[in-house]
Structure 1
């Protein structure tokens, strides 16, 4: 799982001048909570993972990675739609994505809007009524 994160995030992290092969894996391992994580399986193959952390004030999509060969096939959209449908209707979804990441367009198509940003991260939110 940490390796998938490193592979998926490498192009964006390199573009931002922030790629470190050890740190990118360690950051995942330090925050990994198995109970929050689901493996994405398509036709019997593991193609990605998604982790959602439930907090009192929000549902945080912490990790959402698809193997490069599985991107652009509608898998991410289907998984995200499924996640957004699994809500109690009271808490917004939140996530962060790297600046200029192609994934931002996916999130925007599913109702996420800019909450704040810095030089590296874009923090986004989808209200329960939009999710």
Structure 2
């Protein structure tokens, strides 16, 4: 499906394929390197391994601009929350592996893709959770789109955007 906005080039989302694992693992390593180095957590093998271990052709979509890989986003059903024993909100989603190549950052593409993902969640009345690294510029993007902090530790910030139509959610 091709999607066009006034501030970004034409882009599309396509289902992830097994052949996408390595290019996306490399993209993840490039995109996350500065923040992981700043946090003293960069390991060139672990950063790629985590993507390989959690990659899902079922839940990952590849962002393409002019037919070339520009990024990816994974949205899967949310599992248990960060609080032990607390059930996940029914229908909640976990947004992860949302990366854009440096050449496509700062041009509105991330905002456009995030709006698309959130519109799908809103249509399903699903809350969306994510984890962002402490100090990451991406946190501001998420806050602009209604995410709030659920908790944090020295490395990660756990955020949620309530389901549309629910207290604190969009449309209220």
TM-score class, shorter-chain normalisation, is over 0.9
Name the one with the larger strand percent. 1
- In structure 2, runs of 5+ residues without a counterpart are 1-23, 79-87
Query: What residue in structure 2 maps to residue 53 of structure 1?
Result: 76
1:25 is matched with 48
User: Which residue of 137, 143, 147 corresponds with 1:108?
Assistant: 143
Task: Give the drift of 1:43.
Answer: 2.1
Q: Does 1:92 align with 2:127?
A: yes
How far, CA to CA, are the matches of 2:129 and 2:112 in structure 1? 18
Q: Which residue of 2 aligns with 1:74?
A: 108
Name the structure 2 match of 1:34: 57
Please, which of 132, 153, 160 is the counterpart of residue 125 of structure 1? Answer: 160
SS at match of 1:86: helix
TM-score between the two structures when normalised by the length of structure 1: 0.95
More deviation in 46-55 or 93-102? 46-55
How far off is 1:5 after superposition? 0.4
Number of corresponding residues: 130
Higher helix share: 1
Ranges in structure 1 where 5+ consecutive residues have no aligned partner: none
The runs of at least 4 consecutive aligned structure 1 residues that moved more than 3 Å come to none
Partners of 1:49 and 1:18 in 2: CA distance:
22
State the partner residue of 1:3.
Answer: 26
* RMSD value, Cα: 1.1
TM-score (norm 2): 0.73
